[in-house]
Structure formats: structure tokens, C-alpha cells
Amino acid sequence: MLKELDLLYLWHPCTQMKDHEKIPLIPIKKAKGVWLYDFDDKAYMDCISSWWVNLFGHCNPRISNAIKAQLDKLEHILLAGFSHEGIIRLSQRLCHLSGFEKCFYADNGSSIIEVALKMSFHYHLNKGKKKNKFLSLTNSYHGETLGALSVGDVKLYKETYSPLFLEGLSTKAPSGKDYEEELKILKSTLEKHANSLCAFIIEPLVQCAGNMNMYHPNFLDEAIKLCHHFGVQVIFDEIAVGFGRTGKLFAMDYCREKPDYLCLSKGITGGFLPLAVVLVKNEIYNAFYAPYEENKAFLHSHSYTGNALATAAANEVLNIFEEENIVEKNAILSLFIKEKFETLKEFKFLTNFRQRGMIYAFDIKSEIPRAGLLIYEKALQKKLLLRPLGNTIYFMPPYVISKEEISYVVESLREIFKEFNP
Ligand SMILES: *Cc1c(COP(=O)(O)O)cnc(C)c1O
């Protein structure tokens, strides 16, 4: 049996493995669109885009074909001293779409956060300023490597490793429409500590792993103005919210002010292959551009940087955005999602209904320990893969989901909640 073999040889991410004594592990045989199929041909709807990476459905034929075509031409080469057409085109396109001027690549989200942190520190150093701290928001999440964890604030992932961290400061995250108090706190933090702060790192609009906390774009504009006034750079971590999730191509597009660094990953290849990028302006790039002897170069690298197969997938993802009017279509779909999910307000133990583009979330008020886990199990019985964050249930589907499938999700949840005793 595959399940037994799995548990014999695998150690799964983000899992207390002992839980699998009770919770079944589900090997998947194949997938198509929003559906995953196990070895008994049972179907599960991927309501969370497989950890927020999938944009256009599993085994999307356009992306599959783009990778297949690339596969027999060039699979991978080192990106130092050498280059390839796909990565050059992708970089040009990302710069044009975002207004940035240079792309630096890594192969997963946490790594690109490390890149942005190191780059910001090094930028100041090259400019003759010794700064060594980062500012982040409470309730933030930026990945699992040590630097990324240092600027994160989800206790569950972070607490154990706190003796290992970089020094940093945090400032209160806004929530909902209000942000005046949070701006004041940010301002006073900057007034006291700007001299030691390299950058303020922030997940724009939605703190996804932080229980889908959503806040107003004006906070971002004001925060960027304040940071720049105090000589502190701004890093936007759009790893989860980039590529249309928030209703625009980038969350940044809701802002008048622009960050100094834009980090992208997750959706960049449509969920097919790992790839990540940080975009910057030439002003930053130029701070590293000097005769070799001056020791100003950014000597960071990963073996799989700019992988040609991942790049082919990413270019096809951009083609799909351009040719299939995805952002416009999602605007209609997200209205439908809102209309359907809001009917769940009939249950008084469900609160804090919220939405930003293609992310919908609400909370369960419940005394049951690990209520989210209970919902996870009930949902599986109804063919839904949901993965609640604590007591927050969220819906973050691939963009190819149909209206019928959305209705099916909401009606299945209604049945679950009818039997649920909070
Ligand atoms: C997932 C995520 C990361 C980390 O990306 P990985 O590829 O999982 O390392 C960083 N920041 C945000 C906002 C994320 O959602």
C-alpha cells in the first residue's frame, strides 16, 4: 500500500507526523483542473490551489506543452556568465509589467526573501551606511528559512527557533479599514530606530499565513512614504498575493507609492515548478556596480537559479494572463464568490467575512480545540480540500474554477455547518 510506504519513508512538511495515526494521508494519482484524484479514484477539489501556487488548474495543457517544448531544447544551465532566451524574455516582461528595472532570481519564496534582506543590508553598506535590522509587521509570514522566519511573526512556526534569529523590530499590523493607529506606531518606531533599519518588509493587502488578515491599501501608501522619508527601504513580499490573487496583477498596483523590492514566487509558474524573483530599480542595482576590487558585488547564488523549464512555465503563465483576460474574468468570478459565500452568514458562529480579489475568508467562533482540523476532515468527506488556518476557513481556488464548482463548495460547507456544534 502506498500510504504505508509513504509513512515508512517520508517526513511531511508542516506536519506533526503522529497526527497521521488518525488522519489519513492521501496519495494522489493524477490531477486535472481543480480536481485531484486518489488511487481509489476519489476526487478532491483543490480549494486552496495546492498551497496557493496553482493559478490555471492542474496539468493545465498550455503550461504542460510549454514545458514539454522546452524540455527537448534546454533543461537547465548555470546563470552566472551564461543566460538563455526564456529568462531574458521573462525578465523583460516582468520589468515592463511592474515598472521595475532588474530581476534577480532564486528558486523558492523563502530564498527570495533571504535575497531581498541581504540585498537591502548590502545596499546600505555599499552606500557607506552600517545598518543591520529589519522592520516587519506583527502577524506576518515570510517563509521558513532563518532570515525569513526572523522577520515573520506566526508563533506556531517561529517560537521554537527564536534563539537563532536576526535582530529585528516589529510594528503593529492594520486590519480591515482602520490604519491610523498603526501608522502612528510605525512612525514612532521609525523615529526611534530608522538609523539601524535597512528595510521594512511587508505582505501587501493580505497577511495570508497570518489567518488571511486583510487591510486597506492606503496603509501601504502612507507606510512607504514614511519609510522613504526616514531612509528605510520597503520590501513587498507578494509571494502569495502576486499574479492576480488580489484582483490586480500585483497587489502593488493598488498603491500610488512603490516599494524598493518586489518579491514574487508561488503563482509565477502556475504551480508547476519552483521559481522566485526579486525586482528592483536600477538605483539599487547601480549601488553594486563597481570595479571588482571594491567588493561591492552581490555574490549570492542558488544552483537552480533561473531554471529553463520553470522559466518556460512562467512565460506561458504571462501569455495566459495576456491572451485570456484573466484579471477581468477574475473580477466577475470574485463577485460570484462573494455572493455565494455571504449566504453562509446565516450561521451565527461564522464571523469576519472578508474578501480581496480571489481570496475569500471567514472565522469560526468555537470552543472545540482544533476546530479547523475538524472542518478539514468533514470537508474531505465532501470532496473538498480545504486547509483552515487555525479557526480561519479560506477559499483561494485556481482561477479556472467554474461557477457550478463554487456553488458546490458553498452548499457542501452549508451541510457541514448545519451539523456543526460550535
Ligand atoms: C509561501 C510564502 C513564503 C515562502 O515561500 P516558500 O516558497 O514556501 O519558501 C514567503 N512569503 C509569503 C507571503 C508566503 O506566502
Q: Is 109 annotated as belonging to a binding site?
A: yes
Q: How far is the CA of 142 from the centre of ligand 1 (A)?
A: 5
What one-letter code names the amino acid at 350? L
Q: Is 237 annotated as belonging to a binding site?
A: yes
Whether 341 contacts 360, CB under 8 Å: yes
**pLDDT at residue 329 in the model:** 98
Torsion angle of C-alpha atoms 371, 374, 375, 378, degrees rounded to 10: -160
Question: Which spans in 72-179 are helix H?
Answer: 85-98, 109-126, 146-150, 155-158
Q: List the residue whose alpha carbon is closest to atom 12 of ligand 1.
A: 142
Whether 261 contacts 255, CB under 8 Å: no
Q: Is 162 annotated as belonging to a binding site?
A: no
Residue 413 Cβ inside 6 Å of ligand 1? The answer reads no
CA of residue 340 relative to chain centroid, distance: 25
Q: How far is the CA of 311 from the centre of ligand 1 (A)?
A: 19
Q: Which atom of ligand 1 is nearest to the CA of 144?
A: 9
Residue 269 Cβ inside 6 Å of ligand 1? The answer reads no
Q: Which atom of ligand 1 is nearest to the CA of 274?
A: 7
DSSP state of 401: -
Q: Is 141 annotated as belonging to a binding site?
A: yes
**Which residues contact residue 201 at a Cβ distance below 8 angstroms, ignoring those fewer than 6 apart?**
113, 116, 117, 134, 135, 136, 140, 142, 151, 234, 235, 237
DSSP state of 253: G
Residue 334 Cβ inside 6 Å of ligand 1? The answer reads no
Residues in the chain where the model's pLDDT stays below 70: none
Distance CA 418, CA 91 (A): 50
**pLDDT at residue 323 in the model:** 98
Q: List the residue whose alpha carbon is closest to atom 7 of ligand 1.
A: 109
Distances (CA, A) of 310 to 73, 103, 274, 306, 402: 13, 15, 7, 7, 27
Residue 236 Cβ inside 6 Å of ligand 1? The answer reads no
Q: How far is the CA of 343 from the centre of ligand 1 (A)?
A: 31
Q: List the residue whose alpha carbon is closest to atom 3 of ligand 1.
A: 143
First to last CA, the chain: 37
Distance CA 7, CA 346 (A): 41
Residue 203 Cβ inside 6 Å of ligand 1? The answer reads yes
- Write down the residue that cell numbers 483576460 correspond to: 325
Residue 271 Cβ inside 6 Å of ligand 1? The answer reads no
Distance CA 141, CA 116 (A): 15
Distance CA 396, CA 416 (A): 19
Nearest alpha-carbon partner for 203 in 170, 238, 152:
238
Angle CA(247)–CA(216)–CA(194) in degrees, nearest 5?
Answer: 120
- Write down the residue that cell numbers 521594512 correspond to: 200
**pLDDT at residue 387 in the model:** 95
Residue 141 Cβ inside 6 Å of ligand 1? The answer reads yes
Q: Which atom of ligand 1 is nearest to the CA of 208?
A: 15
Question: Which spans in 99-138 are helix H?
Answer: 109-126
Q: Which atom of ligand 1 is nearest to the CA of 276?
A: 7
Distance CA 15, CA 374 (A): 16
- Write down the residue that cell numbers 561591492 correspond to: 296
Strand partners, 393: 362
R_g over Cα of the chain: 22
Q: Is 302 annotated as belonging to a binding site?
A: yes
Distance CA 271, CA 308 (A): 15
Residue 240 Cβ inside 6 Å of ligand 1? The answer reads yes
Nearest alpha-carbon partner for 200 in 181, 212, 186, 210:
186
Distance CA 52, CA 375 (A): 19
Torsion angle of C-alpha atoms 315, 400, 386, 64, degrees rounded to 10: -40
Residue 210 Cβ inside 6 Å of ligand 1? The answer reads no
Q: How far is the CA of 291 from the centre of ligand 1 (A)?
A: 35
Q: How far is the CA of 322 from the centre of ligand 1 (A)?
A: 25
Query: Residue 197: left (phi > 0), alpha (psi -120 to 50), or beta?
Result: beta
Q: List the residue whose alpha carbon is closest to atom 6 of ligand 1.
A: 109
